């Protein structure tokens, strides 16, 4: 980097006072976003029961994941062009409209449609908040403040479920979780306008319309294809859609290599560090999904514990995953090394998944709590490390693309993982055997992640990448 470029970057950084205001803006936005997620998750069973919508439950997962994954990648690129503040406000605006739509629908079909629309705005908010940290602070300080961004997430995890249960069971009803989020998000918008600097480019490049269209086709066919692989009567259609997606992704990469302003810069695909982070993020989802979605089923239907007791059993895991990013950020900021924490994190998660693979109906509660807590200790730091490393691996002009792409790959993995896990589970003769296979798959995938991070290059985190 030349001296002129370094001086320009220094001038682009906000003053300490403005950075502090910007940090509060990001904290408030992150908190409200996660507060809604945790509160809504508790209310969701009642919403589905009220609308008799269990038959459409899979679509309530797949369609928001589809719309949210596409918008996350697209908005990440747009934020590099038009600035983080402008695109965050656009995301919040779409989110607010979606909240209003979801609060007024009376059918499950309408609710799924409203959730899919709402996710266009809601999903990009969190990665954009993480990316905004890169605008506010130089590389040497990003790790610390990225870790501290887990603080509002953790507070939301503590009070969100209780808030969701109280509102859903009160005379107000679940719809007020949606109505009540609107004024909170409006407050966040005002703080963002005041606190975040304008990072838009002075010269606006052409938008990659063709690449965006092909990316949408590739993502849609991939997510729907994988979603249908787990259903016997739709497996053939699912395979066709996956094949179409592969062709579309190849076409997308070729288009991006020639595009004037690619939606996903080829430099990201050619970056070994970034692609390692993306690959391990997708693989680790199999372990995370096993803990969050399948271990409660094992506890309640195999170990025969009550739902309320099972919730308490998972509390240590939830707290560790919510708060561990804070010390991880400080550790990265002090040591400027990330390979060691990566190796430790994935090694610990692998051990925990192997322990869960050995679970039986007679497994004591304390061992369940111990295994999931060990998993939380390993998983908790990884999102913070992923964000910091993704930002350290690319030049500043690609911060939005890099962080958005990491979340995009995770969402695609979240949509694809249930199909593979469902096939494995259904191949077992009973529920206990099927769930143990799920935990074994999680162990194998986290072990593969561990092997991958042994090969990741150790970049200088305190320096901006050229380009």
Classify each residue of 308-330 as buried b or exposed e, where b means 16 or more C-beta atoms within 10 Å of its C-beta: eebeebbbbbbbbbbbbbbebbb
pLDDT at 96: 96
The pTM of the full predicted model, rounded to 2 decimals, is 0.74
Write the DSSP symbol of residue 202: S
Indicate the pLDDT class of residue 92, thresholds 50, 70 and 90: very high
- Give whichever of 14-18, 75-79, 239-243 has the largest mean pLDDT: 239-243
pLDDT at 4: 36
Q: What mean pLDDT, rounded, does the chain reach? A: 82
Angle at 122 between CA 295 and CA 207, to 5 degrees: 125
pLDDT at 201: 64
**pLDDT tens digit sequence for 294-326:** 787 788 778 888 766 766 787 788 788 878 888
pLDDT at 461: 63
Weakest mean pLDDT among 36-45, 101-110, 171-180, 278-287:
36-45
> Is pLDDT at 118 greater than 90 in this prediction?
yes
Indicate the pLDDT class of residue 464, thresholds 50, 70 and 90: low
Higher pLDDT, 158 or 14: 158
> What is the number of alpha carbons within 13 Å of residue 425 lying toward its C-beta?
20
Residues contacting residue 389 through CB under 8 Å, at least 6 positions apart: 273, 277, 338, 456, 459, 461
Find out whether 400 and 131 touch, Cβ atoms under 8 Å.
Answer: yes
Please tell me the distance from the alpha carbon of residue 422 to that of residue 254, in angstroms, as a whole number: 34
Average the pLDDT over 168-179 and give the result: 85
Of 132, 135, 130, 127, the C-alpha closest to 147 is 130
Please tell me the distance from the alpha carbon of residue 290 to that of residue 352, in angstroms, as a whole number: 11
pLDDT at 7: 38
> Is pLDDT at 444 greater than 90 in this prediction?
yes
Average the pLDDT over 364-375 and give the result: 92
Higher pLDDT, 426 or 304: 304
> Is pLDDT at 2 greater than 60 in this prediction?
no
């Amino acid at each position: 980097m030349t001296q002129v470029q370094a001086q320009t970057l220094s001038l682009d950084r906000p003053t300490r006072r403005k950075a502090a205001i910007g940090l509060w803006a990001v904290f408030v936005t992150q908190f409200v976003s996660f507060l809604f997620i945790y509160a809504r998750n508790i209310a969701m069973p009642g919403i589905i029961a009220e609308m008799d919508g269990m038959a459409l439950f899979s679509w309530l997962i797949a369609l928001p994941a589809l719309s949210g994954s596409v918008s996350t990648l697209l908005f990440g690129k747009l934020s590099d062009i038009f600035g983080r503040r402008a695109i965050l406000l656009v995301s919040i605006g779409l989110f607010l409209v979606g909240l209003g739509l979801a609060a007024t629908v009376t059918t499950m079909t309408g609710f799924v449609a409203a959730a899919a629309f709402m996710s266009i705005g809601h999903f990009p908010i969190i990665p954009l908040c993480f990316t905004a940290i890169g605008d506010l602070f130089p590389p040497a300080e990003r790790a610390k403040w990225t870790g501290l961004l887990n603080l509002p997430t953790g507070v939301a995890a503590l009070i969100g479920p209780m808030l969701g249960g109280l509102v859903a069971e009160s005379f107000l009803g679940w719809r007020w979780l949606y109505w009540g989020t609107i004024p909170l998000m409006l407050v966040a918008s005002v703080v963002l306008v005041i606190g975040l600097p304008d990072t838009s480019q002075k010269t606006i490049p052409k938008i990659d319309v063709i690449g965006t269209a092909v990316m949408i086709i590739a993502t849609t066919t991939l997510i729907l294809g994988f979603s249908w692989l787990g259903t016997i009567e739709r497996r053939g259609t699912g395979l066709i859609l996956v094949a179409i997606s592969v062709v579309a992704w190849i076409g997308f990469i070729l288009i991006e290599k020639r595009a004037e302003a690619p939606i996903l810069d080829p430099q990201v695909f050619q970056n070994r560090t970034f692609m390692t982070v993306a690959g391990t993020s997708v693989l680790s989802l199999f372990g995370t999904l096993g803990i969050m979605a399948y271990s409660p089923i094992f506890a309640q239907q195999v170990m025969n514990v009550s739902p309320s007791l099972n919730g308490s059993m998972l509390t240590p895991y939830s707290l560790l995953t919510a708060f561990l990013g804070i010390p991880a950020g400080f550790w990265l900021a002090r040591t400027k090394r990330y390979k060691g924490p990566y190796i430790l994190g994935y090694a610990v998660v692998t051990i925990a998944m192997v322990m869960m693979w050995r679970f039986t109906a007679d497994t004591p509660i304390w061992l369940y709590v111990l295994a999931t807590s060990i998993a939380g200790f390993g998983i908790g730091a990884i999102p913070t490390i992923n964000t910091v490393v993704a930002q350290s691996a690319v030049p500043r002009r690609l911060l939005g693309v890099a962080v958005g792409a990491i979340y995009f790959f995770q969402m695609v993995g979240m949509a694809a993982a249930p199909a593979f896990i469902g096939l494995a589970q259904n191949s077992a003769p009973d529920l206990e055997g099927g769930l143990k296979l799920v935990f074994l798959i999680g162990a194998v995938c986290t072990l593969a992640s561990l092997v991958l991070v042994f090969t990741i290059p150790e970049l200088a985190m305190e320096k901006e990448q050229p380009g």
